[in-house]
Amino acid sequence: MKNLSFYLVTDTHYFESSLGASGKAYDEYMKREQYFMAESSDIVKTVFEKIAADKSTDTVIIPGDLSKNGEFESHKSFIKELNKLKESGKKIYVITAGHDFNEYSRAFVNDECIKVEGTPFTELYNLYYDFGYSQALAVDKRTLSYVTQVSDGLRLLAINCDSEGKRKGTIDDELYAWMQEQLDDAKKADCKVFAICHYPVIPPVPVFDLVGDAKLYDWRKAASFLADNGVEVVLTGHMHIQSINEYVSEKGNKLIDICTSCLVGSPAKYRKINLSDSSVKVESIDVPDFGADMKGLPVNEFFDNQFRYSIVNRINGMLSGGKGFGKFAKKTGKKILNKITVGGIGRILCIKVDKSIKKVKFIDLAGDIGIAIFSGDAAYTEGTPVYNAFSKALKRLNFIIKKVEPKLSKNGVEVNLNKMLLNTIGNNKGYSDNNAEIKLGR
Ligand SMILES: [Fe+2]
Ligand SMILES: [Fe+2]
């Protein structure tokens, strides 16, 4: 197999800004949105120009959520940008995902949220025909999955897990059968195969195993299927997180899932990847300055601030509304939560916390932890003040955790909530989620 160097960009969530993205309703909407909407087209254009200028690779892969919410005008404009990239000499392979069709397509005009023309799933094949399907060796038109030869001895299996009429993030029996045919065919042709899939195949952080929409449905089945059929690498998105994970099937075959962040929201990264017979080398690149008024902030802080703002607003949102005593309790809880420090929580739970974090507001720390988890290489590993405080708090709450754990265990897979949560706030995998070289080969 010839080495393949390519760019991986995902969850571009491109929005055609002339549809409208301003006003009171827009500001209200953005209170809870992790990523930028009005700025997304400028971000995509800036990144595509940078990629076009790099002549050391001629391939770009985008595994889904191409548009904000399936607006037809967003697709049209995004395709114009793809065509420019193609004219610069790049081969482009995309798959579509849940945000690309039948979504709640909307814009924000004159302080109001308005409905705009969306895109039916059946249109996507024609719209993106030049970016994967036209060169494909086989297309599964039902799901818009395809397989294509990307270089000598190397094929790309593009798995579309978000198709019409079924639960998002699933591979059904028919799609498994089609993939089996394609993988058998590649074997006969002596070709290696790597895959793309919008949903993470392996939960990007341990606790996401408990979140229904955070990884493929029945992910162990999918991961084992790919690994046991010779697929060693899958590139994913959807969770807007930088994370690299390994899974070993019962037969002892390894799959590596490289999940990449949303391009237009914190941590706003894309990847340059080199795939060879013996390794996969991953480099992460920050979205550069894209010309917005960032109020003097560095680009990454500009993205992080929006994410932090949405985390705090979501937490406060959960503590709003209700009636009677419920409303009163929520309001009181909200007041306390926005004021309480980590030291204050320590006193309630009777645990000692390091003085470096005592005065930090709990809500600010929650924002920092959220950002750290999604940026990859989460820094709160064993021995750090946050890890120690969290670990002690979990021990204190063990009587609740022990009651919850059996309810979370499914299909004979036991849940250790303590371990899951602690391994989620700190990366203990032994390699970086951002810049790594991982050995391949059996
Ligand atoms: Fe997305
Ligand atoms: Fe998604």
From ligand 2's centre to the CA of 263, what distance in Å?
A: 12
Q: Which residues surround ligand 1, an ion (CB under 5 A)?
A: 11, 65
Ligand nearest to the CA of 241: 1
Q: Are 7 and 59 in contact (CB under 8 A)?
A: yes
- The residue type found at 177 is A
Question: Taking the model in full, what pTM does it have?
Answer: 0.95
Q: How far is CA 43 from CA 28, 38, 252, 364, 414, in A?
A: 22, 10, 41, 27, 42
- 59-63, strands of its sheet edge to edge: 91-95, 59-63, 4-8, 269-275, 279-286, 436-439
Among all ligands shown, which has an atom nearest to the Cα of 98? 2
Q: How far is the CA of 384 from the centre of ligand 2 (A)?
A: 33
Ligand 2 geometric centre to CA of 49 (Å): 24
The confidence score (pLDDT) of residue 436 equals 96
Q: What is the Å distance from ligand 1's center to 214 Cα?
A: 11
The three state secondary structure string of 174-239 is HHHHHHHHHHHHHHHCCCEEEEEECCCCCCCCHHHHHCHHHCCCCHHHHHHHHHHCCCCEEEECCC
The whole-angstrom separation of Cα 412 and Cα 370 is 30
Query: In angstroms, what is the span from residue 34 Cα to ligand 2's centroid?
Result: 13
Cα 237 to ligand 2 centroid, rounded to whole Å: 7
Strands 106-109 and 112-115: antiparallel
Ligand 1 center to 265 CA (angstroms): 10
Cα of 14 vs centre of ligand 2, distance in Å, is 13
d(CA 122, CA 127) in angstroms, rounded, equals 10
Cα 245–Cα 247–Cα 248 angle in degrees, nearest 5:
150
Pairing of strands 192-197, 138-140: unpaired
With left for phi above 0 and alpha for psi between -120 and 50, is residue 273 left, alpha or beta? beta
Closest ligand, as measured to the CA of 199:
2
Cis, bond preceding 267 (omega within 30 deg of 0)? yes
Dist CA 313 CA 336 (whole Å): 15
| Nearest ligand (C-alpha, residue 68) | 1
Instruction: Tell me the C-alpha to C-alpha distance, in Å, between residue 366 and each of 18, 147, 342, 422.
Output: 35, 42, 10, 14
CA of 53 to the centre of ligand 1 (A): 26
Give the other-Cβ count within 10 Å of 324's Cβ.
Answer: 7
Closest ligand by atom to 215 CA = 2
Place of tokens 């770009």: 60
Q: How far is the CA of 95 from the centre of ligand 2 (A)?
A: 11
CB-based contacts of 99, cutoff 8 Å, min separation 6: 13, 64, 65, 66, 67, 68, 69, 70
Q: Which residues of 103-114 are buried (b: 16+ CB within 10 A; e: fewer)?
A: bebbbbbeeebe
Task: Give the HSE-up count for residue 273: Cα atoms under 13 Å, Cβ half-sphere.
Answer: 27
Ligand 2 centre from 203 Cα, in Å? Answer: 14
CA of 152 to the centre of ligand 2 (A): 31
Q: Which ligand is nearest to the CA of 13?
A: 1
User: What are the beta bridge partners of residue 284?
Assistant: 271
Distance 151 CA to ligand 2 centre (A): 28
pLDDT tens-place values along the chain, 442 residues long: 778 999 999 999 999 999 999 999 999 999 999 999 999 999 999 999 999 999 999 999 999 999 999 999 999 999 999 999 999 999 999 999 999 997 789 999 999 999 999 999 999 999 999 999 999 999 999 999 999 999 999 999 999 999 998 899 999 999 999 999 999 999 999 999 999 999 999 999 999 999 889 999 999 999 999 999 999 999 999 999 999 999 999 999 999 999 999 999 999 999 999 999 999 999 999 999 999 999 899 999 999 999 999 998 988 888 777 777 878 887 887 888 888 999 999 999 999 999 999 999 998 998 899 999 999 998 899 999 999 999 999 999 999 999 988 888 877 788 899 999 999 998 788 899 999 999 998 6
Instruction: Count Cα neighbours of 193 within 13 Å in the Cβ-side half-sphere.
Output: 28
Task: Identify which ligand lies nearest to the alpha carbon of 35.
Answer: 1
Nearest to 68 by CA among 43, 93, 31: 43
Cα 394 to ligand 2 centre (Å): 31
CA distance 249 to 394: 31
250: left (phi over 0), alpha (psi -120 to 50) or beta: alpha
Question: Are the beta carbons of 40 and 14 closer than 8 angstroms?
Answer: yes
User: How many angstroms is it from 13 CA to the middle of ligand 1?
Assistant: 7
The CA 345 to ligand 1 mean position distance, Å, reads: 34
Å from CA of 33 to ligand 1 middle: 11
